[in-house]
Amino acid sequence: MRKKQPLIWAVLRLFMRISTTLGHETAVRVGELGGRLLCFFSRNRAARARSRAARMLGVRDREAREIIRGAYSHFGRALVEFIRLPIMYPKIDELVSVTGEEHIWKALELGRGAIFMSGHIGCWEYAAAILARHGLPMNAIGAEQRDDRITRAIADLRAQAGVKPVGKGVNLRAALECLKKNEVLAVLLDQDAKDAGILSPFLGHLASTPFGLIKIAHRYGIPILPVHVTRDSDGLHMTTVIEPPLKGREGRPFGEDIRYSVDRCNEVISGWIRSNPEQWLWMYPRWESTLNDR
């Protein structure tokens, strides 16, 4: 049994109640304010995130400070948007546009399922939700939270938006089952895999990266498609981009050369982050296993 966090759970429940009572635009603005306040009061964590951004992006402290302020504001908004996902799901096309959807339908014609490779950038929950709304059988691997109540709340919000949860953590057996049914599995690869990962450059610095699903994809011939969703300049609308399936070195099957394939995934995610650095989760210690990044 995992440890309960009564204060965090109480604050989250209050935040959920407020977020679902207000109108969408007002609620999102409240989320942004909440993110700014969290940045102000979490000074040590914000300082570590700022140092992380400065080092990994090679920018001055002033620019890194603005990136982190933007990241806290963005994720305050994103939390409210996720909480409101079941409410907005019936009209999600008014909020999210999609490009490249033909790539996933073509991949599913092979009958082997497909893997969406993404990261903690933009409003990733909306990428899976809008594609579920468009008729795709969506599944998502969820991270196990410290408090099981939070884990269940996340799974419930996803399920109400047509996205089926797949186990807790990276459950490869459960993942394979949904792929055998020719369904889509969404996975976030920008997490520290500790001793279970492969060291691979991420924003130019070695990071432990999970690779189990890449091996499964190669073994069963399952396409891996990079997918990300970022916030538009108006702050409310989003754009989801589905890219063609990844290919291996010199046209060989993706995953045959496992190190090249992991490097390629990290290269793609790093490119997204460089394009929209204020929409990535800098507060997470991505390089903890390799650079004592805490």
Spatial neighbors of 141 by CB under 8 A, at least 6 apart, are: 166, 167, 169, 170, 171, 175, 185, 186, 187, 188
How confident is the prediction along the chain (294 residues), in pLDDT tens digits per residue? 456 678 788 888 888 898 999 999 999 999 999 999 999 999 999 999 999 999 999 999 999 999 999 999 999 999 999 999 999 999 999 999 999 999 999 999 999 999 999 999 999 999 999 999 999 999 998 777 777 888 888 889 999 999 998 865 556 777 888 999 999 999 999 999 999 999 999 999 999 999 999 999 999 999 999 999 999 999 899 999 999 999 999 889 999 999 999 999 999 999 999 999 999 999 999 999 998 777
Estimate to the nearest angstrom the gap between the alpha carbon of 168 and the chain centroid. 15
pLDDT at 10: 85
pLDDT tens per residue across span 44-88: 999 999 999 999 999 999 999 999 999 999 999 999 999 999 999
**CA dist., res. 87 & res. 134, Å (int):** 17
Relative to beta strand 205-209, strand 198-202 is antiparallel
Q: Which residue spans within 62-203 are E strands per DSSP?
A: 96-99, 114-118, 138-142, 163-168, 184-188, 198-202
* pTM of the complete model: 0.93
pLDDT tens per residue across span 242-276: 999 999 998 899 999 999 999 999 999 999 999 99
- For 106, the token pair is 């073509």
